[in-house]
Every structure is written in C-alpha cells, then in structure tokens.
Chain A
Amino acid sequence: MTLAEDTGPERGGDDLLAAEYVLGVLAADERQIASRRIDAETDFARLVDGWEVNFSPLAAAYPEIEPPASIKPAIDRRLFASTASVTTPAESRGGLWSSLAFWRGLAAAAVAALAIYVAVPILNPPVEQQQARLVASLAAEGSDVKYLAVYDAAHHEVGLSHVSGERAAGKDFELWMIEGKNPPVSMGVIPAGATAHIVVSPAAQQKLAQGAVLAVSLEPAGGSPTGQPTGPVVAAGDLKGI
C-alpha cells in the first residue's frame, strides 16, 4: 500500500497513485480515496490530469458505437424532468428533500447556529480559535440513521461516528454541507464502518467553521451521480461549538 517504498518519499508516491488511478487498476475503496483527493487537492488533481494527458492517445482504440435512441430522452428526463410538462410522479421519492417544511427547519437551525457562532466569541473570547471543534448530532424523523459528527478545524476533517441505521444494499450514504440558501455541497461518500474521517476542502472549512448544516442522504453506490442529492435525507443536524 505504501508507494513511498517504491519511489522514495519525495516525489512519485502521489504521482504513481495518480497514474494508477488513471490507468484504472485501483480497487473500489482506493479509487474513492483518490477521487476525494482530486476534489480536495489541486496538486493531486494536476498529477491526475497529467497522466490523463499522457495516456489519452490510447483512447483512440475505443470504437465508436451508436447508443440506442432511447438513451438521450432518458438523460433529458433525469436532468430536466421538473421543467418538462410530462412527468411521472417520481417526486414522492424525494421525501425529505422536497419537503418545504424540512428546508425551512434547516434554514432556521442554520440561523440559530450562526447566532451562537457570532455571540459566543463576544461573550467568551476564544483563547485559540484554530482549536475550534464543532459537533452535530445527525438524525431525521422517520429514519433510524444516526451519526455523530465532529468537525476538527485544526485537522480540517469531519469525524463521523456511526450510531445506528444501515445503508440499503447497493447504496451509499453521502455527506452534504448546507450553508445558508446555497445548494448542498457534497463532502463525499461516507465509508462504511463505525467511524469515518472525511477531509474538508479549504473552501468548505470556512463555511463549516461558521456553523453549517450537515446532512446525510441515501445515494446510489459511489455517491450521487449528479453532484446534488438524489435520494432521501436520512439524517441531518447543525454544527454547534462545544
């Protein structure tokens, strides 16, 4: 598993991992870790891009095969169903995500969290702000999924402790950050297990520190294909200082 032994620690470890990712030889969990790093680390993303460029001439060997005519309408249905005039009543599947009351609740929770964040330092000036830890208990009505989330600002990661509730076969839990009225931002698929650590991108760090809401949705294996939640929210909660 350690790449350093093959190449020396200075260069190569990450570059070789990038090459293995592009070539496609990594196992599912290793690919997930690599793809999270692509999103979070510009330097690593550049290495991956470099190998994509190197290998791209090999793609000339892929033949062109006309897909069935049914594919494009199916794509349009997935992307634009809500604006099309004819839609199947698939909205019920959205559950909590499409519930206005839920979103209003979340927004209120976020405002409350922000108020605490603003007020607390005024009352008690923090000794060392970088040491901040925020916690959230993630749960939702009608769902048995519960997580305890701790945001560790010093280490730029969210630690998750799985309390209860299992993912359905072939599905994954995905963690989202919701800040204000902005669309949810994916923080990655939550690895299975009692505890998990998710690295937080620099852009997300500041928003988390300000007390964003965390939510967990049920997604197809590997995470939402659209970049936005596609399944029901099974747990959510706002981050609070401790």
Chain B
Amino acid sequence: MQGFGVHKVISAVANTLQSPNLPEMTPQDITKLIVRTSMKDRAAFDLLYRQTSAKLFGVCLRVLNDRGDAEEALQEVFVKIWTKADRFAVSDLSPISWLVAIARNHAIDRVRARRKPAADIDAALDVADPAPGPEAMVVAGDESERIHHCLDELEKDRAAAVRGAYLKGESYAELAERHGVPLNTMRTWLRRSLLKLRECLER
C-alpha cells in the first residue's frame, strides 16, 4: 500500500495551491477534497459528493438490497463524511477506500438493525451466489492485488463465502443459513479462511 498518514494532509494542503477541477480525479484530488471538507469547505464537500456518490450508492444498494433504504443510508453516509472528515488524516486507507469503508460499515450496521427477514424468503432470493459474477471475474484478473492471489489459495467455496460476505455484508447467521450449516460451523470455517488469508498476506 502507498504510504498514507499525516503527511498526506500536508501534501494535500500544498496541492490546493495548484489549479483545481481536473477533469479526471486522482486519489490525490479526492484526498484534497476530504481534507478541505474536514475544514468545513462546502464547495469541496459538493464536489466530493459529485465525484464519489455513485460509487458509495453502489455500495449501499448492494448491501441493503433496497432502494429506499440505500437512499436513506447514502444521506447518513455523507452526513458522517462531513462530520468525521478529520479522522481521515489518521487512517492508513487510501481516500476512496476510506469513503467506501464508511459507506460499507454504515450500510452493514443498518442491515443488521433490521428485523431478521423470514428465513425461507431470504434463502429463496439468495441461493445463487457462490459463483463469482462477471465483475468479480474482472477484478480477480488483477494480479497486482495480493488479496485476490490469497483468496485463490482458499478452496473455491470458502473464497466465494469471503467475497460474498465482504460485498454484501452477510452475517454469520445469514451465511450459515445459505450454506445449510450450523452457525458455529460457519464461524469456524470463516475464521480458518481468515487465518489462512492472513498467513498468505504476510508471506
């Protein structure tokens, strides 16, 4: 990963002296917008919304699987981004990953707060997932990312469970139901996969 940290703020502030509004936003541009947002610059916040709301809406929709809910969640996510933008400086994440993390975690908290849906409906809607979709295939082709390489070292169904959990924010309970195994078995499976991943990532 690139060396993000406090210095990213310094370089972002230095960058603000250069001409704004490049047609294509680079990570440095997004960083600059987040930093300016933390200084309560509303113009920067507006631009940040224009540049990133489609991605974050995609995250909310995928996790919540309900348009109305996702629209509500997206509002809350940008309220959080406005109020917590200063915390970006102390995170190790790249700017887009930081924004996605806020959206994902918020959407997952929201989906967890929902009442548990009827088990049979949930299962009927969601059996077909383990095979990676075309998007996942494209992503999996990118050899530069360690995580893809390490996921490939897992058994296929375990890797699919990890990817599915990440993208949809499924709980242990939901995963257990879908795979037709007891909750504790699912926990054990997934934790073993995480330990293998960690071992591979650290290699």
Interface residues of A (CB under 8 A from B): 3, 6-7, 12, 15-16, 19-20, 22-28, 31, 35, 46, 49-50, 52-68, 71-72, 74-75, 78-80, 170, 221-222, 225-228
Contact with A19, one of B62, B92, B198 (Cβ below 8 angstroms): B198
| A58-B57 CB under 8 A given contacts A15-B198, A49-B92, A228-B83 | no
Q: Give the residues in chain A near B175, CB-CB below 8 Å.
A: 25
* Nearest opposing residue in chain B for A61, CB measure: B135
Collect the chain B residues with CB atoms within 8 Å of residue A65's CB. 54, 57-58, 61
* B100 proximity list for chain A (CB < 8 A): 56, 59, 62
Closest Cβ of chain B to A203, distance in Å, is: 14
Contact A31:B195 (CB < 8 A) given known A23-B165, A25-B170, A60-B139? no
Tell which of A6, A55, A64, A221 touches B166, judged by Cβ atoms closer than 8 Å: A55
CB distance B93 to A53 under 8 Å? yes
Contact A57 to B145, CB < 8 A, known contacts A23-B194, A226-B79:
yes
Residue of A nearest to B62 (CB): A62
A187 to B42, CA, bound (A): 28
- Number of contacting residues on B, CB 8 A? 67
Cross-chain contact B54 with A7 (CB below 8 angstroms)? no
By the criterion CB–CB under 8 Å, are B80 and A28 in contact? no
B interface residues (Cβ-Cβ under 8 A, vs A): 1, 42, 46, 49, 53-55, 57-59, 61-63, 71, 74-76, 78-80, 82-84, 91-94, 97, 100-101, 104-105, 108-110, 112-113, 133, 135-136, 139, 142, 145-148, 162-163, 165-173, 175, 188, 190-192, 194-195, 197-198, 201
Contacts of B92 in A (CB 8 A): 46, 49-50, 52-53
A20 touches B171 (CB 8 A): no
Please tell me if the beta carbons of B135 and A78 are within 8 angstroms of each other in the complex. Answer: no
A55 CB, nearest partner CB in chain B, Å:
6
- Residue of A with least CB distance to B108: A24
Contacting pair A71 B101 (CB below 8 A): no
